[in-house]
Amino acid sequence: MKTKLIVALAALALGAASSYAFLKREAPAPEVRFATLTGDAFKTSDLRGKVVLVNFWATSCDVCVAEMPKMVETYKKFAPRGYEMVAVAMSYDRPDHVMAFAKQRGLPFKVALDTDGSIARSFGEIRVTPTTFVLDRQGRVLKRYLGEPDWAEFHGLLDKALGNPA
């Protein structure tokens, strides 16, 4: 029991340390390759020129499921202004569950599978969902959210990053 606690605390400390770079304002996002449910593949750098939200989520995460309608509304509101979203399903989420969820809810943004966990590792050993990153047009991390964001603050950040205050 004591050994398990020590191992868990060590893993938590390692995750926190590796995430530190992403807590700093405007750290560059890692260059990763995304593979979407529709078969498209793209890299982080392919999204430059847009303000991008990268959301790590799972169909088994109650908060993720609850916030998804607001993610859809946000996408529809900001996409015409140069906003893109990539919802990255965690490696433990079954692809058929992700596909059914995306289809059932009519998710209008890119949904990617992280089948081997490499995307989550690259973004700082992401283990808790939802974890969300906002990237500026140059691919730098503007903000990291753990859990559901404060929507008014989040929309304000997007307005500012898009350069067209509402």
Whether 10 shows a pLDDT value over 50: the answer reads no
8 A C-beta contact, residue 53 and residue 136: no
Conformation bin of residue 16: beta by default, left when phi > 0, alpha when psi is -120 to 50? alpha
Residue 17: band (very low, low, confident or very high) from pLDDT cuts 50, 70, 90: very low
Number of other CB atoms surrounding residue 46 within 10 Å: 14
Rounded Cα distance, 157 and 162, in Å: 8
In tens, the pLDDT along 102-118 reads: 999 999 999 999 999 99
8 A C-beta contact, residue 162 and residue 81: yes
Q: Which among 114, 55, 115, 41 is positioned nearest to 87, based on CA atoms? A: 55
8 A C-beta contact, residue 159 and residue 55: no
Domains and CATH numbers, the chain: 2-162 (3.40.30.10)
Per-residue confidence (pLDDT) for residue 27, from 0 to 100: 85
Torsion over CA: 91, 92, 94, 99 (sign): negative
Rounded Cα distance, 9 and 134, in Å: 28
In tens, the pLDDT along 55-114 reads: 999 999 999 999 999 999 999 999 999 999 999 999 999 999 999 999 999 999 999 999
In this prediction the pTM is: 0.82
Instruction: State mean pLDDT over 114-142.
Output: 95
